[in-house]
Amino acid sequence: MFDSIGWGEILVLIVAGLFILGPERLPEAAAWMARSVRKVREFATGAREQLREEMGPEFDQLRKPLEDLRGLRNFDPKRVVTQHLFDGDADPLGLNSINGTNGSNGSPAIKPQSSVPQPEPLKPGERPPIDPDAT
């Protein structure tokens, strides 16, 4: 609840409450505030449980997109782009296979054979094919 409020702000609120309410009414106001917050939490918990009982398994399906949105708080664009471009490859540039070793256990690096045929290189003066839909 107090994730964005620091101790300095809380101290300022207490001092302001002391000046506004006075020392005799401040403890009563703090106790009233604590009771109110507790009631609001109980109402929210009760409403959530009632929704869970009434909706059944659909409640979890409803919560999944919301939890995915919460995950965006820790969104790191650099990590996402790297993961997307290199498909989770730990060594996308092949730096671990320098000197003919794999890098992890010292065994010789094995180059995978590509099953996709490579296109022929262009002849001198030949123009590359153009895809009008891609431009």
**Neighbour-count burial for 75-101, b at 16+ CB within 10 Å, e otherwise:** eeeeeeeeeeeeeeeeeeeeeeeeeee
d(CA 33, CA 68): 33
Distance in angstroms between the alpha carbons of the first and the last residue of the chain: 51
From residue 127, alpha-carbon distances to 1, 119, 123 in Å are 64, 14, 9
| Torsion sign over Cα 110, 96, 93, 99 | negative
pLDDT tens across the length of the chain (135 residues) = 455 678 888 889 888 888 888 888 888 888 998 999 999 999 999 998 888 888 888 877 877 888 877 777 777 778 777 777 777 666 666 666 665 555 455 555 555 555 667 778 888 888 888 878 876
Which residue type is seen at 78? Answer: K
Task: Count the neighbouring beta carbons within 10 Å of the beta carbon of residue 21.
Answer: 14
Reported pTM: 0.39
